[in-house]
Structure 1
Amino acid sequence: MADQTQPWAEQTVEVPDQGRFRKGRAQVGAPTPRTEPFPTVPHDATGTGWPGAAEESRPVPPGYHWRQLRSGRHWSMTGALFAFVCWGVWAISAGGDLTSPVVTFVLTLFVAVGLFALSRLVGRIVYERQLGRVRRSARGAHLVTGLFLAGVGVAYLRQTEWVVNLWNWVAGL
């Protein structure tokens, strides 16, 4: 028996020899020859762990893509609100039937949605595939869309005569 006063000491129990086992040795069968080689997986030296394990191990939570698209929406909403107000000033100043101005504004919004989709596509190709980065939001696409809509609003104001006269008067001070 070992001295039990030391904390690292262990107590051992003697097992009688039963013929099959011997103290300190493990009985091992003869090695079997392998008919198939071990599977080889190409290793990407730039990452850690198994290649592709990060994508497989993390499932995308429900609603992740919608949350990703909503991030940065304030840029698009601000641009749309500015364009709407400027469109309203232009449409009321022009007078007459509002059918044509409404169709014009709806087409402008469709172009803005198309620009948003194009910005997302360019971001996917350039940012994700070419640069190998991960996009966590749609802020860039929303910013581009908001700037487009703000430019459309300025274009509506430039077509309004009294706004142009007011701008020239303020600039002349």
Structure 2
Amino acid sequence: MIYIMTLSGNLLLIIVVRINPKLQTPMYFFLSNLSIIDICFSSTIVPKILMNTVVMDRSISPLGCAVQMYFHLALGSTECIILAVMSYDRFAAICRPLHYTTIMSKMLCASLAACSWIMGFMNSAIHVVLTFQFPYCKSHHVNHFFCEMPPFFRLSC
């Protein structure tokens, strides 16, 4: 139920920002990006957890685990970078109010958002590839709700 509410709330925000011309500002553009990240972020983990509660087999393939870890890390780091970009937007709005529209042009906003997504996904690729390069001395069984790096660190030699 909470998952459906999360999806609905974020979709509603995205739709309202797209429909209302008064909300076509950089801050709402970045909020829409955050909503997209939130939809994808919750969709990387919650469906598998819901399936694990219904099905008795709670295992995940190594490839499935790597994909889940990749998207979880990518969206998490993208969210952090977008939040930093949003803080720059607020800095420009507060400290340079007369130059704000010149500083935060549509081109710059799109570039900042695109760079945030690219950097987040590249960072995640590096971390996941290096995590799955570790030699594992113990069992390959990860006793955790979803695939993330710390349990793999404990399993490695």
**TM-score interval, normalised by the smaller of the two chains:** 0.3 to 0.5
Highest RCO, 1 vs 2 (Cα 8 Å, sep ≥ 6): 1
Instruction: Give the number of the structure whose alpha-carbon radius of gyration is greater.
Output: 1
Structure 2 length normalisation: TM-score? 0.35
Higher normalized helix content (fraction of residues): 2
Structure 1 length normalisation: TM-score? 0.33
